[in-house]
Chains A and B, each alone.
Chain A
Amino acid sequence: MNTLVLIKQVPDTEAKINVAAGKISEAGIKWTISPYDEIALEEAIRMKEKSGGTVTALAVGDDSVQNALRSAFAMGADIAIHVKVDGYQMLDSFGIAKAIAGAIEGSDYKVVLAGRQGSDSDNGQVPLILATLKGWGCVSFAKKVEVSGDKAVIECEADGGEAVYEASLPVVITANAGLNEPRYPSLKGIMASKKKPIESKTANIAAETKIEVIGFEPPPARPAGRTIDGADAAEKAKALVKALREEIKAI
């Protein structure tokens, strides 16, 4: 069974994000695979180790996203597809999903895995848009995935509890934190990843873009807080309750 994993390259979670003139300044940012996509990739590799088939990693963006695809090779992906687009915008979910749909036209993937959201946009839209464009099912926030025969059984987090889904194939599944613990690439994997060919495709998504980015802003400064003083913990507790009741009237 062949599996596709959607990879998004994002700034490292610890990266400092600077905004200048309504734009994100990319200087000094270290880029990585979005952490949830890494979980999706790990799951696909485990499926392959169990039942065979191939794992294809796919990323949309400019040439820089080939770094994320090299990392995917290092973890254990067999095939990498770079869908090159001009004017990539990380929030343009519809354009990105269209580019992916075009790139995988005619392929035989039974399962498409992706992270539940990109850690940059926090949107979580691309997998659902792709599934809807293709007429496939999509199960979000998976915690456990079992594929057997022509169906997948997916345990996932849901509103107020946990749900189990049964889906026909092909199916798009988004990985929640806790689905697995992604492996570290081996040294051998890292070395081999440098030589593997990346399949290149192009897509013109400018006409598909449905959003207009007006501009980025730094987060607003929170109003200055204060330390609750007191001789001991009991006094501080008393002063805190007084502040909550009388100053902000929150209780």
Chain B
Amino acid sequence: MAKILAVGEIAGGVLKKASRETTSVGKKLGGSVSTVLIGSGAAAGAAEVAKHGADTVYVGEIDTYNGEAYAKAIADLVKSKGYEIVILPHSWIGRDISPRIATLLNTGVISDATEISMDGDRVKIRKPVYSGKAFVNLKLKSSPQVVTIRPNAHPIADAAGAGKVENITVDASAAKAKQVKFEAKGGTRVSLTEADIVVSGGRGIKGPENFPLIEQLADILGAGVGATRAVVDAGWCDHTLQIGQTGQTVSPNLYIAVGISGAIQHMAGMGSSKYIVAINKDPDAPIFKVATYGVVDDLFNVLPPLKDELKAALGK
């Protein structure tokens, strides 16, 4: 049975959903799983990840994110405890630290798995390439095996774990690059990569004065808010909302594309959504090819009654 280390994420004592996903995926692969949480208020997450099967929870307290320090702490842990598989979320942090961890361990990394399984003692993954125009199946030849999984694309399951807490040291004092300032953006809405529902606006909304239509629809649904590159480049909303190859990759259960034509670069960021709704007045828009439900109509006529219907249906 493989010894697996799941890497979680925590900030301000709030556990990210990704921590449950990496721990659950570790259990699914059939090993003994421990979870490492690094961040501010890290200890607060220990009991939570134990519910998904973590035997030991390594807790590293640090105020400010530092890729070099996180990677070194995790690589040291893998070496000293002999972990064979390391699972990270393919998040901002996971993308930044997984190649560093692998290199410190003189091994390779395979990333952004939308499917993951064991093939003997090797982790096998499937991931999209060429903006989702093809998929590739990959394994690592080297050990330990470092792998990242696409957030929101893997089931979370409950499992019994001892949840024994061990403190680790995370020291950024020797880092060559250090974060000196951080400005939070995006407000209080659910984070895009964790959201079950995402409502996203494209060029069809015509101007910044109409972006609140997207936000209002999202708020009725408790959804995350996204946008296409065209909308971001035009300055109609904050760039942190951009979904696509150059923005965030999302995998919600439901993706509602409003006034989005469906350029390949956008599809690369939302193509793994389970259900897709497209609202667009152009019946030839490529987005309809991937839509579960297509509404061919002017979004300015559809959104007002849609909001009313949703409010009525959800009792809001």
Of the residues A120, A140, A162, A237, contact of B129 by C-beta under 8 Å = A120
Q: Cβ of B185 < 8 Å from any Cβ of A?
A: yes
Contact B95 A124 (CB under 8 A): yes
Contact A122 B129 (CB under 8 A): yes
Q: Is the interface of B mostly helix, strand, loop or mixed?
A: mixed
Contact A244 B99 (CB under 8 A): no
Of the residues A164, A223, A240, contact of B306 by C-beta under 8 Å = A240
A136→B98 CA distance, assembly (Å)? 16
Contact A13 B264 (CB under 8 A): yes
Contact B240 A161 (CB under 8 A): yes
Contact B140 A210 (CB under 8 A): yes
Closest CB in chain A relative to B193 CB, distance in Å: 9
Interface 9-mer from B25-33, B80-88, B176-184: B176-184
Contact B253 A128 (CB under 8 A): no
| B143-161 with Cβ < 8 A to chain A | none
Of the residues B128, B142, B179, B314, contact of A122 by C-beta under 8 Å = B128
Contact B137 A125 (CB under 8 A): no
**Interface size, chain A (Cβ < 8 Å):** 84
Q: Cβ of A199 < 8 Å from any Cβ of B?
A: no
Contact A159 B309 (CB under 8 A): no
A237→B302 CA distance, assembly (Å)? 6
Contact A161 B313 (CB under 8 A): no
Of the residues B102, B124, B183, contact of A214 by C-beta under 8 Å = B124
Closest chain B residue, CB of each to CB of A160? B184
In the complex, which of the residues B95, B112, B177, B253 has the most CB atoms of chain A within 10 Å of its own CB atom? B177
Contact A211 B314 (CB under 8 A): no
In the complex, which of the residues A126, A243, A251 has the most CB atoms of chain B within 10 Å of its own CB atom? A251
Contact A163 B103 (CB under 8 A): no
Contact B177 A137 (CB under 8 A): yes
Interface 9-mer from A64-72, A106-114, A227-235: A227-235
A159→B38 CA distance, assembly (Å)? 14
Closest CB in chain B relative to A176 CB, distance in Å: 7
Q: Cβ of A215 < 8 Å from any Cβ of B?
A: yes
Of the residues A17, A131, A171, contact of B134 by C-beta under 8 Å = A17
A243→B221 CA distance, assembly (Å)? 15
Closest CB in chain A relative to B84 CB, distance in Å: 15
Q: Cβ of A145 < 8 Å from any Cβ of B?
A: no
Residues 94-134 of A, flagged 1 when their CB comes within 8 A of B and 0 if not, give: 10010000000000000000001001111111101101110
| A202-248 with Cβ < 8 A to chain B | 209-220, 222-223, 225-228, 232-234, 236-238, 240-241, 243-245, 248
Contact A225 B294, CB 8 Å, known A160-B191, A165-B177, A241-B310: yes
Contact B275 A248 (CB under 8 A): yes
| B226-253 with Cβ < 8 A to chain A | 229, 233, 239-240, 242, 245-247, 253
Closest CB in chain B relative to A21 CB, distance in Å: 13
Q: Cβ of B202 < 8 Å from any Cβ of A?
A: no
Contact A216 B306, CB 8 Å, known A159-B65, A160-B184, A161-B182: no
Of the residues B102, B186, B239, B298, contact of A129 by C-beta under 8 Å = B102
A213→B138 CA distance, assembly (Å)? 5
Interface size class of B (residues with CB under 8 A): 35 or more
Q: Cβ of A177 < 8 Å from any Cβ of B?
A: yes
A83→B276 CA distance, assembly (Å)? 43
A223→B274 CA distance, assembly (Å)? 10
Contact A210 B141 (CB under 8 A): yes
A215→B125 CA distance, assembly (Å)? 11
Contact A219 B133 (CB under 8 A): yes
Contact B100 A219 (CB under 8 A): no
Contact A236 B137, CB 8 Å, known A93-B109, A244-B254: no
- Listed from nearest, the 8 A-B pairs whose CB atoms lie closest are A210-B108, A137-B176, A137-B177, A177-B246, A233-B301, A167-B177, A128-B99, A132-B103
- Residues of chain A having any CB pair with chain B under 8 Å: 11, 13-17, 19, 24, 35-36, 91, 93-94, 97, 116, 119-126, 128-129, 131-133, 135-141, 154, 157-168, 171, 176-178, 209-220, 222-223, 225-228, 232-234, 236-238, 240-241, 243-245, 248, 250-251
- Residues of chain B having any CB pair with chain A under 8 Å: 9, 11, 65, 67-68, 71, 91-93, 95-96, 98-100, 102-104, 107-112, 124, 126, 128-142, 175-186, 191, 197, 221, 229, 233, 239-240, 242, 245-247, 253-254, 264-265, 268, 271, 274-277, 288, 290-298, 301-302, 305-306, 308-310, 313-314
